[in-house]
Amino acid sequence: MSTENRGRIGWFALLTMTVVAVFNIRNVINNNVAIGLVSAPAFFFATILYFVPFTLVIAEFVAMNKSSESGVYQWVKTSMGGRWAFLSAFCYWFVNLFYFASLLPLILVYASYLFYGEEQTLNQTWITVLSIAIFALAT
């Protein structure tokens, strides 16, 4: 892919995508309900101490691999070699496998609110079957 036609993501967009992926709205709401406005400084410090440095690291990896089309594997291979690249790609895949599988029951709850206006109670068997079906369709 030529670099002239390639879109660019700014630092603010990268930061907000990272915050949304890690914090997600459910965590913000749950923390605000549980401890109130005291959670606001925690979110602020998490942004300053974690998300901004993380965004800068990702931006550095992207800058080192401008001509590359791949992600984590290529980034780590360029800076640390093939063995560490394999290990990091495997860990990234392994963690995301369980992360996405844990999101599937939530998708069913959100879909029930979308279609029925309230949460529909499903037994564990239906949740498991529908989650596996959604996971199979998504991959």
Does 91 lie in the same domain as 53? no
Give pLDDT, residue 59. Answer: 80
Domains in the chain: how many in total? Answer: 2
Residue 74 located in a structural domain: no
Does 88 lie in the same domain as 58? no
pLDDT band at 84 (very low <50, low <70, confident <90, very high): very high
Give pLDDT, residue 74. Answer: 87
Q: Read off the pTM.
A: 0.56
Does 46 lie in the same domain as 15? yes
Which residues form the domain of 3?
1-64
Does 138 lie in the same domain as 86? yes
* Cα separation, 139 vs 127, whole angstroms: 18
Does 134 lie in the same domain as 95? yes
Residue 70 located in a structural domain: no
